[in-house]
Amino acid sequence: MTRPLPPPGGEAPGPGRFRVPQEGDTLGELRPLLVALALPTFALAFAISALTTYGPVVLIRLAHSDIKVGLLIGGEGAFALFIPILAGLVSDRLPPSPLGRRLPLVLLGVPFLVAGLVLLPFGPSYLLAALIVFAIYVGYFLYYPPYRALYADLFPRSYYGRVQSSQAVARGAGLGAALLAGGLLLAVWQPFPFVLAAAFVLAATAALLPVARLESSTHGSAGTLELPRLRELLRDRSLGAFAVANGLWELSFTGLRVFIVLYVVRGLGESAAVASAVIAVVAVAYVVAAPLAGWLADRYGILRVIRAAGLVYGVGLICGVFPTSLTPMLSALPFVALAGAILMTLPQALAFSVAPPGAEGAAAGLQDFSRGLGVVLGPILVGGAIDLFRDQLSSTSGYAAMWPVVGVPVLVGVVIVGAIRVPADTDADATVPVAPPRP
């Protein structure tokens, strides 16, 4: 994407306290922009976590069936199969405006998302609750890809690893806040976590307005570049390899997330408190890995870091099939969790690195599309493997079968990214040169 040059003797101007990032800027200088950009990630992570974790508490009284509740909450994967890539493509092609190219789609998603969150606890019937949940997913996927593409619009490609780290920290904070505070808020007033999530979304979107105006001031390339069609994007070898690999990683992550508590409690015979401690270790690893991933990507290249982290993570997961107690797993858990968190932090930066100029919104949508495939298939494949090997792996009630099912896709994804080729002006496998000090 062509970026404006700073005026002679000065920096590119931007509205308010923000300015267009330039090569040589430090993260300290860009921190106000990074914070404003990360706020929607926190809000969206809080909102979707509140829905998937505490939404069933509201829905069960209307559905009277765990299967019906599961169908509604699991609908995220189905919506991810078509809305994100369309939203991303449209945002690439919108004409320049005072709101930029991305914000119109973001603002279109806000009413669906906010109204759905507020209304969900008050749904009078299962049918209306289903429509409300679907509205939340529509708003979420209209909002997310165009919003994420703002990172690619504003930052030079060599900064992608670093800025995605800040987004990963915000995502982890939103997830943690929802999991830790949601139960307490639910006990105070059942609609509380959902109303608070809606308030977070509104506040974060308001903070995004000056960022979107900054994006419009960069005179993005939508009007000057020949934008690729969807068919051409899907035929792009590097983007195709990324989509397949990302789908495999999401399959692994979702399958693990759904069954890890059951593995600890039913497979290893530990208490729910121990399972919570295991999840806490993983959560801490995620927070630690976010800035570490950015630093490693700058130093060694995005692809090299992804391959190394994926290799450690995949092998570590597969080895989980052997222990029949928690003790031997605890020694490897922090390292495997850290490698997995690094792996899951960098795919968005990789997608933007290989996307054709001007197609960053489509790349963000393609990432969500592949994620949707993983979200749908992961729990099905892992659950099927557990049932199939329940007798053969009776020492863990069959739950040890989950580890190869979540580990092998990670390694296959690592092999597939070997087909990725980056544009001539970007080398995702190269280290980022240190910029000379600015006068």
At residue 371's C-alpha, the angle toward residues 304 and 152, to 5°, is: 60
Whole-number Å distance between alpha carbons of 340 and 345 = 9
Domain 38-224 and domain 233-419, same fold? Reply is yes
Q: What is the CATH number of domain 233-419?
A: 1.20.1250.20
Residue pair 407/314 in contact by the 8 Å Cβ criterion = yes
Angstrom distance (rounded) from CA 359 to CA 413: 23
Q: Who wins on pLDDT, 226 or 181? A: 181
Domain 38-224 classified CATH 1.20.1250.20?
Answer: yes
pLDDT score of 416 more than 80: yes
The answer to whether the CB of 405 falls within 8 A of the CB of 377 is: no
Reported as half-sphere exposure (CB side, CA atoms, 13 A), residue 364 has a value of 27
Contact 302, 428 (CB under 8 A): yes
pLDDT at residue number 230: 58
Q: Binning pLDDT at 50, 70 and 90, where does residue 435 land? A: very low
* Domain extents in the chain: 38-224, 233-419
- Chain centre to alpha carbon of residue 64: 31
Say which residue, 30 or 118, is predicted with more confidence: 118
For the cut 90, the answer to whether the pLDDT of residue 424 exceeds it is no
Q: How far is CA 161 from CA 125, 239, 256, in A?
A: 45, 18, 25
pLDDT at 1 over 50: no
What's the pTM? 0.73
| Higher-confidence position of 78 and 143 | 143
Residues 87-122 pLDDT 10s: 888 887 777 777 777 888 899 999 999 999 999 989
Answer whether 369's CB lies under 8 Å from 89's CB: no
Strand, helix or coil at 66? Answer: helix
Checking if the pLDDT of 4 tops 50, the result is: no
